[in-house]
Amino acid sequence: MNMSDIIGKKRNGETLSQEEIDYVVAGYTEGSIPDYQMSAWLMAVYFQKMNREETFHLTRAMKHSGDVIDLSGIDGVKVDKHSTGGVGDKTTLIVAPLAAACGVPIAKMSGRGLGFTGGTVDKMEAIPGFQTAVEADRFIEQVNTIGLSVIGQTAHIAPADKKIYALRDVTATVDNMSLISSSIMSKKLASGSDAIVLDVKCGDGAFMENLEDASILGQMMVDIGNGDKKKTIAVITDMNQPLGQAVGNSLEVIEAIETLKGCGPADIQELSLILAGIMIYAGGKASNREEGYEMAKAALDSGAALEKLRQFVEAQGGNAAVIEDYSLFPQHTCQRELRSSQDGFVGKIAAKAIGLASQHAGAGRATKEDTIDLSAGIYLHKKVGDSVCSGDILAVIYGSDEEKVEKSAQEAEKAFVITPEKPKPELLIKKII
């Protein structure tokens, strides 16, 4: 087989065989195919697209490029959850304890973030002492003991995807349905859970800006998961404004704790209960999604999910006193208030602009090498549809660097649109596949 022929075949819009896709993935991962050929192949895929079979083959090849985790030492149906990424999305920290409190074993691997804020692993590290690098034996033992563990994804999970994704990032080839779905699903399938719940974000702060594209992506990932005999359900959810009020690592963990105390923002609480309900159903603990939702609500109301979070934090070496005392989180040293200059209603809060402003305050990384300021971020005092008077606080920007916080505030200001009329509310849940 020859890489140049395979590039030409894809460039001409032909279908690649499983052997050809295996050859590309294996060759690039081991280094016999150079970046320039892989870049040309990715661009050919970008323009000519891949069909369903090719996408399945690509996912399979990337899944098997590294370890496939064996979770058979954990009793019960293990359920994983993945979000395609949004601004202020801290739902893993809420749904994992909710589902675990209802008897669903959660043995989850999460990543670090590149972009708006950290990933779930970065957020958890805002809790003093919390360990995300946990040995496989301890990971399994913890799930068998308390029903829940979330750890950092190792470099041995789908290494082909890691290498290919880094190349896509710098060759303008991220934005392709087959490449996105195979990238996400190769890691999920290698992580070993029996069922997968996908939160596919849709809107201005997401990869997929409209419902049609989000539905195609969701359906493709569901087909890949079910094709690998994992029960897979996708929920298309709104990302036209940040989720909840907190954007930034410590701020988001505090909001997750508040939600588990029953005091979280309405959108975060509702989305978390819906996702947890679906996880409880996928894990076989409820006969349908509605029953799962009621079980999750009961675990929230009784405090069982908050207690599960406490056990989880302690089991991974974290200081669980943060649950009562938020001053134990990394503290900001400067802040800047953003105030409305007019009366009216919040008509729009551009999610992407808030995400970037939060990143620039120090909450996210622009490159892998950047360090995150765990105290940095943005707290929204108003959400879309709220009424505002001139002088009201719209948001507060936090951080540890005056200059960054000032720049972030200028960017965040542009994200708010004040309108004379109250806008029509967006549906939080757009579709379940």
**What are the residues binding ligand URA (CB under 6 A)?**
165, 174, 179-180, 183-184
Please, which residues have CB within 8 angstroms of residue 198's CB and are 6 or more apart in sequence?
81, 82, 83, 84, 184, 218, 221, 222, 225, 232, 233, 234, 235
- Name the H helices within 249-303: 249-260, 266-282, 289-302
Amino acid at site 246: A
H or E stretch covering 395? strand 393-399
Q: Which two tokens stand for residue 376?
A: 């940095």
The answer to whether residue 161 is catalytic is yes
Exposure string of 320-356, with b = 16+ CB inside 10 Å and e = fewer, is: bebbeeeebbbebebebebebeeebbbebbbbbbbbb
Going by their DSSP bridges, the two strands 106-110 and 246-247 should be labelled as unpaired
Q: Which residue, 203 or 283, is less far from ligand URA as judged by CB?
A: 203
Q: What is the DSSP letter of 327?
A: G
CB of 350 to ligand URA, least distance (A): 20
Q: Which residue, 108 or 336, is less far from ligand URA as judged by CB?
A: 108
CB of 25 to ligand URA, least distance (A): 15
Residue keyed to tokens 């972009």: 115
User: Catalytic pick from 81, 108, 187, 382?
Assistant: 187
Q: Which residue, 59 or 375, is less far from ligand URA as judged by CB?
A: 59
CB of 81 to ligand URA, least distance (A): 14
CB of 265 to ligand URA, least distance (A): 25
User: Catalytic pick from 10, 60, 81, 82?
Assistant: 82
User: Catalytic pick from 89, 161, 238, 373?
Assistant: 161
CB of 221 to ligand URA, least distance (A): 11
User: Catalytic pick from 90, 168, 201, 360?
Assistant: 168
- Comparing every residue's Cβ against ligand URA, the nearest one is 183
Q: Which residue, 74 or 185, is less far from ligand URA as judged by CB?
A: 185
User: Catalytic pick from 149, 183, 272, 358?
Assistant: 183
The answer to whether residue 187 is catalytic is yes
CA distance 168 to 149: 31
Q: Which residue, 198 or 309, is less far from ligand URA as judged by CB?
A: 198
The answer to whether residue 183 is catalytic is yes
Nearest to 388 by CA among 336, 337, 338, 346: 346
Question: Among all residues, which ones are annotated catalytic?
Answer: 82, 161, 168, 183, 187
